[in-house]
Structure 1
Amino acid sequence: MTSLATALGDVLPTALGVALSPLPIIAIVLILMSTKAGRTGPAFALGWVFGLIVVATVVLVVVGSGDVVFDDSASSFPSAIKLALGVVFALLAANVWRKRPHANAPATQPGWMTKLDTAKPLFALSIGALLSGVNPKNLALTVTAAMAIATAALHPTQEVASLIVFVAIGSISIVGPAVAYLFVGERMTPVLQKLKRFMEQHNTAIMLVVLSLLALSNLGKGIGGLIG
């Protein structure tokens, strides 16, 4: 398997994990159901993409993208990072389980979500960037993807292509609805309402599955690389 195929194999699951983030999806739905959706929707989506690109680029630069590449056979550093990320994902999964809502309990939302229906574009842009770049779960996922790209001994153009794939897939659940709204407008409202209800009802299950799978994957790769 080529280095590019290996990198993409590691990037795709993390990108899907980013895309299946219930809270940001609920946020974009609320924004698109507001009176300023035409401006705040694209702003939120732009902020989301910006956050992913910034975090991934910083990791690539720090690790040594294009100039200094870690060789798994000569260094245990990548495996140690994967092991650490596996622990982080396991802790995040445990935290989701600990904070799971009780049966028949009404869905609760963070305080900032109540401001989305009257949000201005700059606020929407900032929230989008924070949710993609600073949110602990997405931050860990983006670091995981960027590490996979940086340690795969790729050509710079392949690194850029891998990064684009990660951002594109990780943004599809946010950018997709925002773009669709620009074409169909308020006709999307029934679909958005159903999507919001689904994400609220299955938030815990989605997060547990995604985080648990990523924890097992990274722990396995990390331990295997350190003892192999």
Structure 2
Amino acid sequence: MGAVIGEVLPLALGVAISPIPIIAAILMLLSPRARVTGVGFLLGWVLGILVASSIFTLLSASLTGGDGGPQPVVGVIQLVLGALLLLTAVRSWRGRPRDGEEPAMPAWMGAIDKMSLPMALGFGFLMSAVNPKNLLLAASAGLAIGSATSDAGSAAIAIAVFTVLAASTVAVPVIGYLVAADRLRGPLDSLRGWLASNNAVIMAVLLLVIGVSLVGKALGQF
């Protein structure tokens, strides 16, 4: 169990440090309907991570049997996922803003003020379960869990740990805002600006490290 959790920790960190979802949560907390949209986004975010990692865990277990030994099929899938993460890292690095340029933010951020609870919940789910970067990381986590655990209880614990850690950076500002909204508005706005400026570099470095690690683990499966 400890080895499996150790494998999913960097993957959970990769989801947790993704700047765009954190920026989206902060923008919702700074909007007129902060409590409604913030909580809805958090619930959707957690649900998306849980569903995606669970599906890939089940798929992995059905392919490998979960005996924890060397698995060539796991190695092939890990090589593909690692290569995709490396390509995404290169794309993110090449898309970083140059000196003096304003970072380009997604167009949907302008619609956050108009979101209702169901819209925020669905948006959070899509951001975590369908977003390509997070989907690759959830698939990698599910592959690690499903190929190394043979019982449902251990797999459920590993998925829960992955979900809690991956969702933590969205959960902390939302919960903090519910407790002390007035004191957090200024720091949240400053954090939003910093994340927007450094989004591409953060993701490029993070995905590069995780991609290389995944390729290394893949080679060990042959």
**Please, what TM-score do these two structures have when normalized by structure 2?**
0.95
Consecutive unaligned residues in structure 2, runs of 5 or more: none
Shift of 1:70: 5.2
1:70, 1:78 within 8 Å by CA — same for their partners in 2? no
Q: Which amino acid aligns with 2:199?
A: N
Shift of 1:154: 4.1
Residue of structure 1 in register with 2:174 after alignment: 178
Q: Percent identity?
A: 34
Consecutive unaligned residues in structure 1, runs of 5 or more: none
SS in 1 for 2:47: helix
Shift of 1:9: 1.2
Any runs of at least 4 consecutive aligned residues in structure 1 with deviations exceeding 6 A, and if so which? none
Range 151-160 or range 132-141, more displaced:
151-160
Q: Which amino acid aligns with 1:150?
A: G
**Please, what TM-score do these two structures have when normalized by structure 1?**
0.92
Shift of 1:101: 1.4
Shift of 1:23: 0.4
- Whole-angstrom distance in 1 between the partners of 2:69 and 2:59: 17
Residue of structure 2 in register with 1:62 after alignment: 59
Shift of 1:121: 1.2
- Deviation per residue, 1:146-205 (Å, 9 max, x gap): 111111134321111111110000001111111111111232101101110110121122
- Whole-angstrom distance in 2 between the partners of 1:209 and 1:108: 19
CA-based RMSD of the aligned residues comes to: 1.5
Q: 1:9 aligns with which of 3, 6, 9?
A: 6
Q: 1:43 aligns with which of 40, 43, 60?
A: 40
Residue of structure 1 in register with 2:158 after alignment: 162
Residue of structure 2 in register with 1:25 after alignment: 22
SS in 2 for 1:108: coil
Q: In the comparison of the two structures, how many residue pairs are matched?
A: 221
Shift of 1:107: 2.1
Q: Does the alignment pair 1:113 with 2:117? A: no
Cα 1:154/1:70, change in 2 over 3 Å: closer
- Whole-angstrom distance in 1 between the partners of 2:68 and 2:183: 52
Q: Which amino acid aligns with 1:14?
A: L
